[in-house]
Amino acid sequence: MDNTNEYLLNFKGFNFNKRLVNTEELEKMEDIEIRDDDVFLITYPKSGTVWIRYILFLIYFEGERNSNENLQPYDTMPFLEYNILDLDYVKMPSPRIFSSHLPYYLVPKGLKSKKAKILYIYRNPKDVLISYFYFSNWILTLKSPDTIEHFLEKFLDGKVAGSCWFDHIRGWYEHRHDFNIMFLSYEDMKKDLRGSVLKICSFLEKELSEEDVNSVVRQATFQNMKSNPREDRDQVINTLIGTRHNEGSFLRKGATGDWKNHLTVDQNERFDMIFKRNMKNFPLKFIWDINE
Nearer to ligand A3P, 232 or 258 (CB): 258
Interface with ligand A3P (CB under 6 A): 43, 45-51, 127, 131, 134, 190, 220-222, 225, 250-254, 258
Nearer to ligand A3P, 8 or 219 (CB): 219
Nearer to ligand A3P, 113 or 268 (CB): 268
In angstroms, the Cα distances linking 261 to 35, 67, 102, 127, 134 are 44, 39, 30, 10, 13
State in angstroms the smallest separation of the CB of 209 from ligand A3P: 22
Nearer to ligand A3P, 30 or 241 (CB): 241
> Which amino acids are annotated catalytic?
101
Would the CA dihedral through 133, 164, 258, 48 be positive or negative? Answer: negative
In angstroms, the Cα distances linking 247 to 9, 230, 234 are 27, 19, 10
Counting runs of H as helices and runs of E as strands, what totals does the chain give? 12, 6
State in angstroms the smallest separation of the CB of 44 from ligand A3P: 8
Nearer to ligand A3P, 16 or 250 (CB): 250
State in angstroms the smallest separation of the CB of 255 from ligand A3P: 6
| Contact present, 86 and 231 (Cβ < 8 Å) | no
If you write DSSP's letter for every residue of 177-224 in order, what string do you get?
GGSEEEEEEHHHHHH-HHHHHHHHHHHHT----HHHHHHHHHHTSHHH
| Contact present, 148 and 266 (Cβ < 8 Å) | no
State in angstroms the smallest separation of the CB of 127 from ligand A3P: 6
State in angstroms the smallest separation of the CB of 181 from ligand A3P: 18
Residue 145 preceded by cis peptide, ω within 30:
no
